[in-house]
C-alpha cells in the first residue's frame, strides 16, 4: 500500500471537518463531491447554497447535499465570528465595524471557524494567491509554539525507487520564503521533518542541501547552510539531519559514502531542505517534469492549525489529494 493510500484510509477512519472557502469554485465543488462520496472528510463549503446546489445539480454531483453549506450573508453565527475577529485584532487597531466586514471574507471566515473550534482545517487558493490564503492564517491562527516561520513542502512520489523512501521524498521550502536566513532555514528543516512523520509516518533523514559537501567549497551561501545545520542540531538533537550536502551526496549511497563518510543521512536522505526558494521551486518542478513524479503541495508548515494553499492552475485530483493531506494534518 502506498503512502497516499495510507493517508486516505487514515482520513476515512478519522473524519475531520475541512472548510473550503471557495465553495462555488467549479474544480473545488467537483473535488468536494468526490471526497464526500469516498467519505474522506466532513466538508464545510462557504458560499450561497442556491448557487452551490444549482451547480451540483447541473453537473450531477450526488454527494454535495452531505456538505454543510455556510452562507456568510445570512448565517446567524456571523456576529459571533465577527466578534472573535475583533477580539483577536483590536490591539492592532481593528474596529468592530471592520471586523464585521472582514469576517465576510471566506478566507478569514474559514480561519475563524477553525479558531472557534467549528472546523479542523482549511484548503483554498484555486482562485487567489498564496498571500491571500496565508494572511488570515497568520492574523487569526498564528504559528505553532516555538515556530516563527511558515514554509511550504511538497510530497514527491517519484519512480526512482532506489532513492528516498522507495522513491518518496519531502522537499522544502518550495513555495513561501524567498531567502530564509540560517535560523529560519533550521526551523524549516524541523517543520519538514515533522511533516514527513505526520503525513508519511516515516522516520525523517534530513539533508541540508548546498553546492558543497562538507567543506568542498567556500562561500557565504554555504556558510548559511552550515549554520542552519548547527542550529537545527541544537533545536532537535535527536533528528537525523546533516549538511551541507550536495544533492547527489544526499541521495546516492555510493556518493554519500565517498563525500560524507560516517554520515547517518548522506546517501539515505528522504527529506531535502533547499537553501532558498529559487532552488526549491526549480528543483521540485524539474523532478516533476523530468521523472513524471507526482508532486503534492504546497503543504503549509508552521501554522498552528492546518491551512493549505492550492495553485490557481490546480486540477480536481490535486484538490482531492490536498484535502486528504489537510485531514491528516488535522488528525495529528
Q: In this predicted structure, what is the pLDDT of residue 147?
A: 87
| Cell of residue 3, nine digits | 503512502
What integer pLDDT is reported at residue 146 of this predicted model? 84
What integer pLDDT is reported at residue 131 of this predicted model?
A: 87
What are 77-115's pLDDT values in tens digits?
999 999 999 999 999 999 999 999 999 999 999 999 999
pLDDT of residue 311: 86
Q: Are 22 and 124 a contacting pair, CB within 8 Å?
A: yes
Round to the nearest angstrom and report the end-to-end CA distance of the chain.
21
Nearest to 232 by CA among 277, 189, 264: 189
Task: List, as one string, the DSSP characters of 272-287.
Answer: EE-SSHHHHHHHHHHH
Q: Is 257 in contact with 265 (CB distance < 8 Å)? A: no
Phi, psi values for residue 173, rounded to 5°: -85, 125
Cβ pair 208, 225 in contact under 8 A: yes
Residues 184-238 have pLDDT tens digits of 999 999 999 999 999 999 999 999 999 999 999 999 999 999 999 999 999 999 9
Q: Which pLDDT belongs to residue 296?
A: 92
Alpha-carbon distance 168 to 161, whole Å? 8
Give Cα separations from 170 to 93, 204, 264 (angstroms). Answer: 40, 9, 17
Q: Quick one: pLDDT at residue 128?
A: 87
What's residue 259's pLDDT? 96
Q: What is the DSSP letter of 144?
A: P
The reported pLDDT for the residue numbered 148 is: 86
- Which residues, other chains included, contact 160 with Cβ-Cβ below 8 Å and sequence gap of 6+? 167, 291
pLDDT at position 85 is 98
* CA–CA dist 125, 104 (Å, integer): 17
Please state whether beta strands 42-46 and 17-20 pair in parallel, antiparallel, or not at all (unpaired). parallel
User: Which residues of the chain, if any, have pLDDT below 70?
Assistant: 1
Amino acid at each position: 500500500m502506498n503512502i497516499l493510500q495510507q493517508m486516505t484510509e487514515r482520513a476515512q477512519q478519522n473524519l475531520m471537518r475541512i472548510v473550503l472557502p471557495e465553495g462555488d469554485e467549479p474544480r473545488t465543488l467537483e473535488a468536494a463531491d468526490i471526497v464526500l462520496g469516498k467519505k474522506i472528510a466532513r466538508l464545510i463549503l462557504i458560499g450561497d447554497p442556491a448557487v452551490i446546489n444549482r451547480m451540483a445539480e447541473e453537473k450531477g454531483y450526488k454527494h454535495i447535499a452531505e456538505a454543510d453549506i455556510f452562507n456568510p450573508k445570512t448565517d446567524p453565527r456571523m456576529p459571533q465570528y465577527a466578534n472573535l475577529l475583533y477580539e483577536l485584532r483590536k490591539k492592532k487597531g481593528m474596529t468592530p465595524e471592520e471586523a464585521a466586514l472582514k469576517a465576510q471574507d471566506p478566507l478569514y471566515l474559514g480561519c475563524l471557524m477553525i479558531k472557534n473550534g467549528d472546523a479542523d482545517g482549511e484548503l483554498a487558493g484555486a482562485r487567489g494567491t498564496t498571500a491571500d490564503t496565508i494572511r488570515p492564517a497568520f492574523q487569526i491562527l498564528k504559528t505553532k509554539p516555538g515556530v516563527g516561520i511558515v514554509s511550504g513542502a511538497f510530497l514527491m512520489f517519484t519512480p526512482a525507487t532506489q532513492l528516498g523512501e522507495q522513491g518518496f521524498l519531502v522537499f522544502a521550502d518550495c513555495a513561501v520564503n524567498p531567502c530564509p536566513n540560517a535560523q529560519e532555514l533550521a526551523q524549516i528543516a524541523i517543520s519538514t521533518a515533522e511533516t514527513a512523520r505526520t503525513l508519511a509516518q516515516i522516520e525523517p533523514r534530513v539533508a541540508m542541501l548546498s553546492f558543497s559537501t562538507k567543506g568542498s567549497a567556500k562561500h557565504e551561501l554555504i556558510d548559511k547552510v552550515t549554520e542552519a545545520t548547527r542550529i537545527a542540531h541544537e533545536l532537535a538533537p535527536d533528528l537525523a539531519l546533516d549538511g551541507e550536502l550536495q544533492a547527489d551526496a544526499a541521495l546516492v549511497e555510493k556518493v554519500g559514502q565517498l563525500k560524507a563518510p560516517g554520515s547517518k543521512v548522506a546517501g539515505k536522505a528522504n527529506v531535502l531542505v533547499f537553501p532558498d526558494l529559487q532552488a526549491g521551486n526549480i528543483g521540485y518542478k524539474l523532478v516533476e517534469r523530468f521523472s513524471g513524479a507526482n508532486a503534492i503541495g504546497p503543504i503549509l508548515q508552521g501554522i498552528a492549525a492546518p491551512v493549505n494553499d492550492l495553485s490557481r492552475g490546480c486540477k480536481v485530483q490535486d484538490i482531492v489529494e490536498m484535502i486528504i493531506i489537510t485531514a491528516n494534518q488535522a488528525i495529528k
